[in-house]
Amino acid sequence: MDKLHIFSFFSGCGFLDLGFEKSGYTIDLVNEFSPSFLNAYKFSRENLGLAKPQFGYSNMDIANYLGDKSNELSEYIKVVHAQHSYVGFIGGPPCPDFSVAGKQRGREGDNGKLSLTYVRLIIEQKPDFFLFENVKGLWKTAKHRAFYEELKRKLAHAGYTMTERLCNSLEFGAPQDRDRILLFGILKDNLTKKIDLKKEFPWEKYIVADLETTKNLAWPDRDTFVENGEYPCPNNIPIEFTVQYWFDKNDVTNHPNGNDHFVSRAGLAKMEIVEEGDVSRKSYKRLHRWRYSPTVAYGNNEVHLHPYKPRRLTAAEALALQTLPKDFILPKEMTLSDKFKTIGNGVPFIMSKAVATTISEYLNKLIEDGTLHSI
């Protein structure tokens, strides 16, 4: 496992990275443009007792690695290769420009352009493998799909064999209906023989639930909101997919971020009339304790309400819905806006861990049978 090393870009506060690290990879470089998010990344790592990346933390625009910092990055890769280890780039460029809920500026948006920058960086630096993560709008929306296909052509021309899948976090056991496109590639120059990655790669190995079947279960619909009301879990649903299960699992009431939430004084009356389980509206969606959550996202005026308390979710509750370990903590001094933004941007931990494990097992199989060159 320690032969697989990661250079992380658009790292946020580290949800995707933590999934890889807990699957046996070594995180060598962390790049994040937001100082607040990067500080949270450092804070959470220290609290979890994880080692500092050997090439440290980079707080700058990723485009610098295509310019002044290009040679520095190349030298880092050489150092890892000299350790007889493989380098993988992972990253999910900011995605509001492709999101269905965003402004739909696509490739022309400031964030949309970062997807091309990330692909250019992969092409220039030639990591041994890469993972590209983004919203389903890049896959489902016609004008964005054309851009996505262009990115794949560039990577294929640069010598990568690739496979992709539109994954939903519910499939991996997260209590959240969240779609993400994942694109995984291996540098063909490192292979001793041709492989058909599209057919061979076992995307579904660690999937624990069929998406359609799970969504079609007899989930509770809506119930009158009763502050601190009690409501037993129905017998015919898997409790581990529910909001309340993860609240309990992470002991959110006693979590260090358990009091971190926005106070909506002006909207309290409006908040109290929203039924438990009513997630139909653009804003003021009240989660149901015995159902999974809609996508954990708090931009574009989305407000998610606690199932049985007259308030918005706390950061601890949002972290639980992202399936972070209960000892994952955000710093006290971080603003509420930044806390919820970085939480909403992240990949659910158990999903990232499952995907990371699938990749590592596949790569190690190629190493063992001699299909992947020794470094």
Positions annotated as catalytic residues are 95
User: CA-to-CA distance for 16 and 355, rounded, in angstroms?
Assistant: 10
The two three-digit tokens of residue 214, written as one number? 């799970």
User: CA-to-CA distance for 107 and 211, rounded, in angstroms?
Assistant: 30
The two three-digit tokens of residue 90, written as one number? 């992972």
Burial code (b: 16+ CB inside 10 Å, e: under 16) for 335-368 equals eeebbbbbbbbbbbbbbbbbbbbbbbebbeebbe
User: CA-to-CA distance for 328 and 12, rounded, in angstroms?
Assistant: 14
Of 268, 286, 260, 285, give the one whose Cα is nearest residue 340: 260
Identify the residue whose tokens are 């006290």.
Answer: 332
**Beta bridge mates, 130:** 89, 185
Residue 2 to residues 78, 132, 363, Cα–Cα distance (Å): 16, 21, 12
Residue 67 CB-half CA count within 13 A: 7
The two three-digit tokens of residue 269, written as one number? 């009356």
